[in-house]
Amino acid sequence: MKMKWTVLSKNSIVVALLLMTAFVGCIGGDDSSDDVIRIAFTVKDDYDNPDTNPQLLADFIAEYSGYDVELYPIANENAAIEALNFGHADAAFLDGGAGFVAWKSHGLEAVLADQKDDGSTYYTAAAWVLDSSDITSLEQLEGNNSCHTGWLKSAGMLMPMGYMIGHGLVDVQGPTDEIESLRTTIEAHFENASIPGSGDLYYGYSGAFNCMTQGVGDVAFAKTSSYEDHCEGNDWCLDRDQYRILEPHFGQVPSHPVIVNPDNGGEKQDALIAALLALNTEEGGTSILENVLNTPGLVSVTSESHMGSYSDAIANIPGITAYFAEKYDE
């Protein structure tokens, strides 16, 4: 049997080669992406204040690092985690809860964290009582009235309850895989509990502190800096020496971490981190930190140092894994 050969024209060969090149490119991925740093960020069409435009951040990183830099638009923190997981973005700025999920559920890592006005990268959760109170320890809180900053708030609920559950001071009531069991647990442990919603009386740090000051509650779960942060200008506040903080504290609530995928480490990731740290010292960096990232500075951290005590405490909250999975993974 004779084989038939088809003679291709010169133009046909060129077209075939172009198609093969395109096909190989699709299979192998876009190698040029190695030369591009992508930052997962929520972007808007217009900015009333041009100083808040995150493109300023991208331009700064590009100039400092020598890499091309693009903003990878995201709608929420779940999308940021997904972008990091699939290599669509090289870094993302997350809140503490999303950072915890990114670390514990996805193996992503914190490399930087934003600073607060005092230079710290966390605030400390604690229990406040009036100095005239007979309560002197966490063990004595059972059966008293509590003031929380709100439902599932970090310093006002998750940290104190997680700490006390983990240390055997509070018994979980209800199924351990349901977040509503936390409400049942609180209501069983305290005589009455103030758990306000947004806009309600006694909502937030100032509200919880006022709740305790007015005698509605015997203890307020808030930050160690609550008096300094919220009493200035409020005529309901007493003098500082009329309040006490119970020991021990519940742990550190982390500031917003910068999260990366450790599987994508290398020169590009190192250059990105160096550029972000350069915001602290280079010309134009201060404005970007304040207006785009809402922080006075960034510092180097590890996941364990930044989120360790937070993770240890909230891991004891009933249903917290399912709650965060629904909030950030779906």
Which domains are present in the chain? 33-119+255-328 (3.40.190.10), 123-253 (3.40.190.10)
CA atoms within 13 A on the CB side of 272: 27
CA distance 201 to 149: 10
- Helix, strand, or coil (residue 175): coil
- In 3D space, the residue among 319, 327, 301 whose CA is nearest the CA of residue 120 turns out to be 301
Note the helical H segments in the chain: 10-28, 55-65, 77-85, 96-106, 159-166, 180-189, 204-213, 226-230, 267-278, 285-291, 303-314, 320-328
Which residues of the chain are modeled with pLDDT < 70? 1-33, 329-330
Identify the burial level of 173 via C-beta atoms within 10 angstroms of its C-beta, where 0-12 means exposed, 13-18 middle and 19 or more buried.
middle
Q: What is the pLDDT of residue 33?
A: 57
Residue recorded with tokens 């923190």: 77
Assigned token pair, 120: 């710290």
Please provide residue 133's backbone torsions phi and psi, each rounded to the nearest 5 degrees.
Answer: -70, 150
Assigned token pair, 57: 């951040």
Report yes or no: 220 and 226 within 8 Å, Cβ to Cβ. Answer: yes
CA distance 40 to 53: 14
Residues in CB range of 67: below 8 A, 6 or more apart: 35, 36, 37, 61, 268, 271, 272
Residues in CB range of 317: below 8 A, 6 or more apart: 158, 161, 162, 165, 179, 182
Q: What is the pLDDT of residue 277?
A: 98
Q: What is the pLDDT of residue 180?
A: 97
Q: What is the pLDDT of residue 330?
A: 54
Query: Would strands 68-73 and 122-130 be described as parallel, antiparallel, or unpaired?
Result: unpaired
Q: What is the pLDDT of residue 326?
A: 83
Q: What is the pLDDT of residue 327?
A: 82
How many CB atoms sit inside 10 A of residue 71's CB?
Answer: 17
Q: What is the pLDDT of residue 324?
A: 87
